Amino acid sequence: MFIESVEINNFRIFDWEFSIDWLQVPDWNKWSWINIFVWENGCGKTTVLEAIWLCLLEYKTDNISINDFNDHSKNLNIRLLSNQNFTVSKSMSWNFECQWFNFIAKKRARKNKKYLSSIITKDQYFVPVTWVKWEPKAWSPDLRLAVNNPFKWNRFSETDIITIDSNRTNQTRSWTFNNTRFDRLMEDFSYQFLNKYNPKQPDLNYYLSIDQDINNDFLDDAMEIFGKITWISLSLNKIDNQHPFENAYLWVNGNRLANLWSWYEHFFSIIYNCCLAEQSKKNLIILIDEPELHLHPSLQERFINFIFEISDKYQIIITTHSPLFIKQLKKAWCKKEAINILKKNWWTIELTSEADHKLWYLSANEINYTAFELATEEYHNELYEKILIDYYASIWEDNPVKFSIKRFDNEYFVQTKNLTVAHPWYDTPNQITLHTHIRNQIHHRATIWSPAYAELLESINYLRTCL
């Protein structure tokens, strides 16, 4: 099960029903799809990720407040559609098929005088595919994401979720907001230890035996993969003789990993969650908010290589506004990234349409322009060269001509587009149009000044109309 679409209503900036349809899911082919969301600040970048994990993760609802409602007189509603039906166990018996996850929050209808009440009520629901007699009734406890039942495992366990938020909440450190998978792994190690040894009466081989007999293959695999990518060797350090793994942590050259580099810790947590999913034969959804934070450029490239290697099996959803990160994604071998660009349109947020993209490939410079309204010399170069190549390709077969920038400017911009020549060709005034003049400024920086930003933006806006 992976996420296919997201519907958000009345959550923070989204005061209307906002939807993102057809998220890309793994297709088990090499270099599968990665979902990249690019937008400027204030467009709801983090809100979309948090909407997803509000539907899937129980503990994430604790931080929801009345401030998260765009309009507190209306319900806050988020729905996730999966790409296929998934099985949910009833609280006591049987199973039923679902295809939606639903999160609803609303202002409390009445006050309970016996104790202090919160302002809002929150519910996470499974939504069945069809309503039949043996399925739970609408809004029954059986539909809730979490039901306290000591006689059953998790009601839905086909897919694991890992979230890396922009606050970089620690993933391999104890006593955080929630028990992480690393905590649960260490608890399992302590269980193995207590079954094998009496910590109150250790013998001479006690400390040596712990590392030899108590282990987990996926943790060893994760440490090995992490070392190959980052060139950092990890080990597990234990600091409690009675329960040696209860407060264990990852050790790097005499220091805790969590105390040294925040992103290294999250990078490792992604790796070991992938190894765990591989071992347990589960699907995995990875949600990452701004991976470029605290990640230097060379490690960004190694991180991108890694996520493309795993994207054929796991669904990856990333938000970013780093031009460098986008540029690294656009390397020639990165064939299958689904880049979704959101932009502000007066008081609404909307996905850009195909008409907003003018190049035949999804250029990083074009993304910077459409997402952030950033006019760059590199984007001007791409647009100009595309127009030039298309023009000569259209006339070359019938009338081969000698290539010349000045000739192209005269034939295309002046004669075909009826533009005036008001800019110099080197030292001769009024010879070429603004667009070719800026092209020369970019290509001959040693002899000509850099183009003014206002002129660069004007030229880019015009060249886009020519494609």
pLDDT, tens digit (0-9, with 9 covering 90-100), for 262-302: 677 778 888 888 888 888 888 899 998 888 877 777 888 88
**Averaging pLDDT over each range in 116-130, 336-350, 413-427, which range is the top one?**
413-427
Question: What's the rounded mean pLDDT across residues 391-414?
Answer: 80
What number of other Cβ atoms are within 10 A of residue 204's Cβ?
Answer: 7
Q: Is residue 443 part of a domain?
A: yes
Q: Where are the beta strands (DSSP E) in 409-463?
A: 423-425, 428-432
In this predicted structure, the answer to whether residue 246 has a pLDDT above a threshold of 70 is no
More confident residue, 122 or 173: 122
- Secondary structure (H, E, C), 260-296: HCHHHHHHHHHHHHHHHHHHHCCEEEEEEECCCCCCC
CA nearest 125: which of 22, 48, 51, 54?
Answer: 54
Q: Is residue 89 part of a domain?
A: no
Q: Each residue of 105-163: pLDDT tens digit?
A: 988 776 666 555 678 888 888 888 876 555 666 667 778 887 665 555 567 777 888 88
Residue-level length of the chain? 467
Asked if 78 contacts 51 with a C-beta cutoff of 8 angstroms, the reply is yes
In this predicted structure, the answer to whether residue 174 has a pLDDT above a threshold of 50 is no
Q: Is residue 409 part of a domain?
A: yes
In this predicted structure, the answer to whether residue 247 has a pLDDT above a threshold of 70 is no
pTM for this one?
A: 0.75
Structural domain range at position 441: 377-465
Question: What's the rounded mean pLDDT across residues 432-451?
Answer: 85
Q: Is residue 111 part of a domain?
A: no
* 24 torsion bin: left (phi>0), alpha (psi -120 to 50), beta (else): beta
Question: What's the rounded mean pLDDT across residues 244-252?
Answer: 68
**Tokens 């922009």 -> residue:** 166
Asked if 375 contacts 454 with a C-beta cutoff of 8 angstroms, the reply is no
Q: Is residue 8 part of a domain?
A: no
Per-residue model confidence (pLDDT) at position 101: 92
Lowest mean pLDDT among 108-117, 213-222, 418-427, 439-448: 108-117
CA nearest 285: which of 47, 55, 17?
Answer: 55
Question: What's the rounded mean pLDDT across residues 428-456?
Answer: 86
- Beta strand pairing call for 34-38 and 315-320: parallel
Per-residue model confidence (pLDDT) at position 25: 87
For residues 310 and 313, give the distance between their C-alpha atoms in angstroms, rounded to a whole number: 6
Question: What's the rounded mean pLDDT across residues 442-452?
Answer: 78
Q: Is residue 411 part of a domain?
A: yes
Count of structural domains, the chain: 1
Question: Distance between terminal CA atoms of the chain?
Answer: 40
Q: Is residue 456 part of a domain?
A: yes
More confident residue, 398 or 339: 339
Lowest mean pLDDT among 199-203, 233-237, 402-406, 418-422: 199-203
Per-residue model confidence (pLDDT) at position 436: 93
For residues 331 and 16, give the distance between their C-alpha atoms in angstroms, rounded to a whole number: 37
Per-residue model confidence (pLDDT) at position 32: 61
In this predicted structure, the answer to whether residue 175 has a pLDDT above a threshold of 50 is no
More confident residue, 136 or 381: 381
CA nearest 337: which of 35, 21, 27, 82?
Answer: 35
Lowest mean pLDDT among 37-41, 144-148, 437-441: 144-148
Q: Is residue 56 part of a domain?
A: no
